[in-house]
Structure 1
Amino acid sequence: MTKEVFECPWFRVHEETWDELSDLDRRPFYRIESSDGVLVLAITRNEEFILVRQFRPALRRSTIEFPAGSIEEGETPAEAAVRELLEETGYRAGTLRLLGSGHMMMNRYSARDYLFMAQDCQLPPQTPNVPDQDVLLLSPPEFKALVTSGGFEHIPALSLFSLAEWQLGSRLVV
């Protein structure tokens, strides 16, 4: 049995009870339903990683992460990746490649995330205003130092990085 117990513009929470799963023993389980999303590993023509620093209310502080966001109604994952990259960084991709898709937090969230790699990114002549966040351009050694020092906390994004290296057959950071 399923019933909606909370709704807001970003997600809905459903309470479910499972008769056929003995380990749940009819206790309520809460599933979070939200829009599918995109995560973009963006690299400039100069082989710099494009990251954003933005305030995250849930953590009450700013974080450094790859451009990402929700897929809007009627939008394809690729269109969302292009839009999010432009909105969050002001950059346009020369090439955009879908690397895969999957679920970031399978224990509670039903959303599917699409993982993209954007290469040869550059600022268009008329760069849109990118408020409320900072755009960072990091060389591969700088990105590696950020990750290994604990300054890059978006752990699911690192799977995108590994997937990109495996599909390209070459290392992005040495």
Structure 2
Amino acid sequence: MFTFVEEFAAGSGQRHFGFPTGGIDHGETPARAARRELLEEAKLAAPLSDVQALLPAGHPGILEVKWSRNRFLPFLALQPESTPRSGTPEIEESGIRVVSVDENGAMEMLRSGSMFLPSAVTLQLALDWLKSSSAQDGR
């Protein structure tokens, strides 16, 4: 299963799907930031050992779009567990809806154009990693 957050995109004026995302806090590693964002936005927890980088160590990140300097580092959380929701969500998380879909559902989101571009790239890298990992494990 793949877990997405559905949120409003000001550019299109519509809601779109993406993987949990966010910035890296000062002194935080990219993997710890990925784990934190997963917990904050999707209320899913994964041990750091289950947060798989999808690019080589030291990679500067993939450029999001040609007219921006923003880069992203994609990660895959293996078998995250649901955590209880507590308290009032932060303003930026209050409009988020969490959706879990299988590979076919994720590909339909991609083909429909309702997925943010960085998440589309992350999905492809994750599927490639999972396929490669399964082949190495003999599954």
Tell me, yes or no, whether TM beats 0.5: yes
Counterparts of 1:1-174 in structure 2, within 5 Å, are 48-94=1-47, 95-100=50-55, 101=59, 102-105=61-64, 107-124=66-83, 126-128=84-86, 129=89, 131-148=94-111, 150-168=112-130, 169=132, 170=134
Residues 155, 110 of structure 1: alpha-carbon distance in 2 compared, 3 angstrom cutoff: closer
Asked if the contact 1:64/1:151 (under 8 Å) is kept, the reply is: no
Q: SS of the counterpart of 1:120? A: coil
Identity of aligned residues (%): 27
Unaligned 5+ segments in structure 1 are 1-47
Q: Which residue of 2 aligns with 1:11?
A: none
Structure with greater proportional strand content: 1
Larger Rg: 1
Q: Shift in Å at residue 79 of structure 1?
A: 1.4
Q: CA RMSD in A?
A: 2.3
- Paired with 2:32 and 2:11, the residues of 1 have a C-alpha distance of 27
Q: Shift in Å at residue 106 of structure 1?
A: 6.1
Tell me: higher relative CO, structure 1 or 2? Use CA pairs within 8 A at least 6 residues apart: 2
Q: Shift in Å at residue 53 of structure 1?
A: 0.6
What TM-score results when the alignment is normalised by the length of structure 1? 0.60
Structure with greater proportional helix content: 2
Q: Which is further off, 55-64 or 114-123?
A: 55-64
| Total equivalences in the alignment | 122
What TM-score results when the alignment is normalised by the length of structure 2? 0.73
Q: Shift in Å at residue 141 of structure 1?
A: 2.1
